[in-house]
Structure 1
Amino acid sequence: MTADAALPHTDAAQRLRDWLRPHRRVFVLTGAGLSTGSGIPHYRDETGAWQRKPPIEYRAFVGDARARARYWARSFVGWPAFARARPNPGHAALAQWQARTPDTALVTQNVDGLHARAGSRDVIDLHGCLDQVVCLDCGAQRPREAVQAELAARNPDWTGLDAALLPDGDADLEGLAFERFVAPVCEACGGLVKPDVVFFGENVPRPRVAAAQQALAQADAMLVVGSSLMVYSGYRFARAAREAGLPLALLNRGVTRADDIATLKLPADCAATLVAAIGD
């Protein structure tokens, strides 16, 4: 596959405005490409291929103590930069548009919580949010910031390491003695804890899927922003939209899994296009 030639955002914005004009109930699905303007990198290049090694899988996290320690070490180093990320103009434009068109549904594959911080309401965080940690044994939750403080106290030698931020809030660390890193445990029961997000190989919770499906059933069009849709949890909604006869627009700089079924493809900058097309 090769990426589409990029469109100037002004041209893309005009085409998006024209496409949106007859629709009042739009189902919007966003992905990592929208948050790059907030300093959070994306997973894939413009051909849809992984730019780095894929994220840790759920089976490895729960079954391999060293893999789990490696994950938490990378998360500990990457969290401060991830937590500093702020909504960008693309998030703000969607929040403003949603306020003007209350029947707009917003579903995101991102785990950064930036839509809610930009003012969007009733966001369906399909893959969860990194700002919470959950116990896999008793279900107790804690804020990620509290876990960060615990990790700092248990692992003082890891404080201050400098590494590139990765899409899931962890850092690009390799070749270190990860087995020395002390991973967090549940305060309530001492059980295994993980960020309250969906890892690869883990199912999206059924209530979230059901809420998104209900929103799509009430929509008259679907807009994808900044997602390659290579992950089935997002692609399923694009496919369902077309099977229901809904128009499907894709605003994404590179190749997507739904290119062959879309009714409009806009290979342009997500934030700039949204601001020009729907921002106040």
Structure 2
Amino acid sequence: MKQTNYDNWNGGIYYYTLTLTINVDVFSQIRTDILQYETTIYEAISQAYMPDESEVITTVKLLPILIPPNENALDVVDGRLDEPAFWKPGYFKLFISHLATFKVTASALKNTLEQYGISGFVAHEDIEPTLEWQKEIESGLFTMDALCAILIRGFNRSKWTDQEVGVALGRNVLILPIIRGLNPYGFIGKYQGFKAQGKNVGQVARGIFELLATNPKTSSTIVTRLSELFLLSNSASEALKRIKSLRLIQSLSKERVEALRSRITENDVLKSTRVLIEFNLLLQLYSIPKLKSTDFEKTVSNQTDDLPF
């Protein structure tokens, strides 16, 4: 387990990535379902490993490993473990593949996606990217949860965007074609696309979120990430955006909502009247008893004199 980020809110929160190494042969057998395995392990660990609010596991990665002769296994793992700093900790990681001519709109899309618990990486298409920029792109491609391809005219003629899509295909992560002047082609033709022509950035962002929340490859991951982000919200405005996003997910299970209710009182930020109104609307959908601000009050015993020191 390795610390991948830190937030100084509420005395400090440490974020960790847990990497589990498995034999290359086993990895090759489960490669097509690797994201589901990672999500299942993540959910199990999230329930079992909660030492306190200051330590949060945000990601579980399964890594195929083949240790070369005379090399230390931990050194090999550490060399492949680092998660890029451009991903926001705890968020769903979406690589946004686009042409440089569309970078302003792509950046606006990235910013709007954050309210849905999605951290976007906006890759720029330079004629000859620097070696450092290529490394950043590679890091994003090999740590992303899904790829969004903004299909405008010329996208299929770019050697960079086609290679980015190729990595997504090779890793078997979900590809979301955003159709804006160019229809899905080749291997990405089988993926459900989102027609963006005539829509604004907000509508496209919501469409991406809804596709991620309903696709079997990504639904469990994004529900888990968004739920945790809601519980760790630093402000009422942040929490409001996240609970409204959670209410959009039709596949949200009653067990998930009950788990949210059992943990929400751990964060006093969430007792805001506006947040409770929105959260109770979610509870109402599942016939779960409403929450009151008094439920956040901690019961403190006054009988402390006789406690062993």
For the criterion TM > 0.5, the same-fold answer is no
Larger RCO: 1 or 2 (CA < 8 Å, sep 6+): 1
Greater helix percent: which structure? 2
> Structure 1-normalised TM-score?
0.34
